[in-house]
Structure 1
């Protein structure tokens, strides 16, 4: 373990058959000083070949992949790196414990949840939490954009462009000035990912950008000419944010 303490950064690879997942993880990793991506692999075979030539400290590994899944890949490795599973399926969580992985992240991955997993990896290597882990000011608690999954693709949505979101069964609809996105999130999950100073819950089914609200009248609010309902329990907080 003494050699590990000399490590200045963890060499990472991303193993996933979805291009969008690579974009999300690379964006997150780029904000952490002690993480460095040294390889992007679309399947387990590519990753195994890469690890024959390069030392890998940490692997972000999808489970459900063609040819060989993540579990099968790990079972072939004699000396495996630290592993953080990244998957869209919660069904594998229990099975993952048998592989002694660092963490299990469900897609779409929230940045705060990603940080918790990475801190576990740092702890394993005796790095602790660095004085300046993230290359953003401490006040920047939220990102300027969201990455969401829409019809199998990963889409980046600028937070500035979001007008409001509506619960829609097991999904939510996110409305911008020009587009509407349907994604498998709950309204509460979206609320956690958005700046609380900019967005407010106004109803069990609606979350709105406070700067877009032009008028509040009775149990309704208006975004230009669009009227949305306001729940009684949310009205006071809405008015306080609106003032």
Structure 2
């Protein structure tokens, strides 16, 4: 069974999440601090991580950063109500999603199902396409690798999927809701700011190498698209 790593130092929360994870047919791996989270991640084959921000030893941000150095495993950050900067910081360092306390366990499981379905759907789509290119940009799906002028650009799994979706439908405008449905799943409970944050981070990474012939363009009032100057 797929293993879900649950990282929280509140036993009442982990016990509830454990029961729901078991009912969904997953195997829970439960730890209570950041260092234990890293140890468990490297010990087990983890499919997804539920990661609280406020943790003993190492906080959730440090855990996420360290895991992102070697893995694109889906990470859902758990943040306190009203602390938007935690949500933004989590997305900036590579988290895939966030849950705000107090939360509904059924909502958490809906998020997990949506992410895992999206990963399976993306992997199926990737099997039919070896790579995508435009001008000096190349996206190698099997290797999960992106280069500009042959320089590798390190993207998270979600950023790569976002670029793949836009690049494979050049000049098509995707609304924020389109992108949420395609990449986060139709039962995603978050808001459009999640898309904006990922677009901002993706652009910043792509801008490390000049690419005057293309861009991730904002279509005001509509959304985003991959825009190539050769196709204007």
Structure 2 length normalisation: TM-score? 0.46
Higher share of residues assigned helix: 2
Instruction: Name the larger-Rg structure.
Output: 1
Normalising by structure 1, what TM-score?
0.44
Q: Which has the higher contact order (CA 8 A, sep 6+)?
A: 2
